[in-house]
Structure 1
Amino acid sequence: MQKTTQAISHQALLEKANMLLKEHDDYFAGMEASDVIQQGDVLVFRGPFFLDEEGLPTPKTTAVFNAFKHLALTLSSRYHLA
């Protein structure tokens, strides 16, 4: 059985994604999805990752990763890029 997803524009998807981010438990000011690409059936979200001065992950990096993973799981089952 094949899932049917709705076509959506890049901008409309980012607007939905950023609204969902604000509802996520790990959300903090400055977290945002600034780009999205489609790889197969998966929507991959991109944005600032809040690395330290040496380019290493911080606790904020983990929060962003978890929130973007949530976006991918939630929105990939509903939408595909038009």
Structure 2
Amino acid sequence: MHENTSAVSREALLAEANKVIREHDEYLSGMIATGVEQKGNVLVFRGEFFMDENGLPTRKTTAVFNMFKHLAHLFSEKYHLED
């Protein structure tokens, strides 16, 4: 299942992911990945989604979703989480 990827710890992957986030053109203040899990061959990133006071998505919500999707594409090709 993980033949072409390298094992990485959650902590190391989150550090690398947050570096990518901070350096990305679409970075917004407060955007940070706080968790990651392995779903098959895909790494799924989590963090604050910036909902409004009614629990509805904001402009930041879309930006965060797109960033986490970008991270999944970028890192799932390189890494899998250590067991």
Report the TM-score when normalising by structure 1. 0.94
C-alpha separation between the residues in 1 aligned to 2:11 and 2:25? 24
**Cα offsets for 1:31-74 (capped at 9, x unmatched):** 00000000000000000000000000000000000110000000
Kindly report which structure 2 residues correspond to 1:35-50, keeping only aligned pairs within 5 A, or say none: 35-50=35-50
C-alpha separation between the residues in 2 aligned to 1:20 and 1:44? 15
Amino acid paired to 1:49: F
C-alpha separation between the residues in 2 aligned to 1:28 and 1:59? 10
SS of equivalent residue, structure 1 residue 34: strand
Q: How far is the alpha carbon of 1:3 from its aligned partner?
A: 5.5
SS of equivalent residue, structure 2 residue 38: strand
Number of equivalent positions: 81
1:52 is aligned to: 52
Q: Percent of pairs identical after alignment?
A: 59
In structure 2, the gaps of 5 or more residues are: none
Considering only aligned residues, what root-mean-square deviation do their CA atoms show, in Å? 1.2
1:78 is aligned to: 78
C-alpha separation between the residues in 2 aligned to 1:17 and 1:5? 16
SS of equivalent residue, structure 1 residue 38: strand
In structure 1, the gaps of 5 or more residues are: none
* Structure 1 segments of 4+ aligned residues over 6 angstroms from their partners: none
Amino acid paired to 1:53: E
1:64 is aligned to: 64
Report the TM-score when normalising by structure 2. 0.93
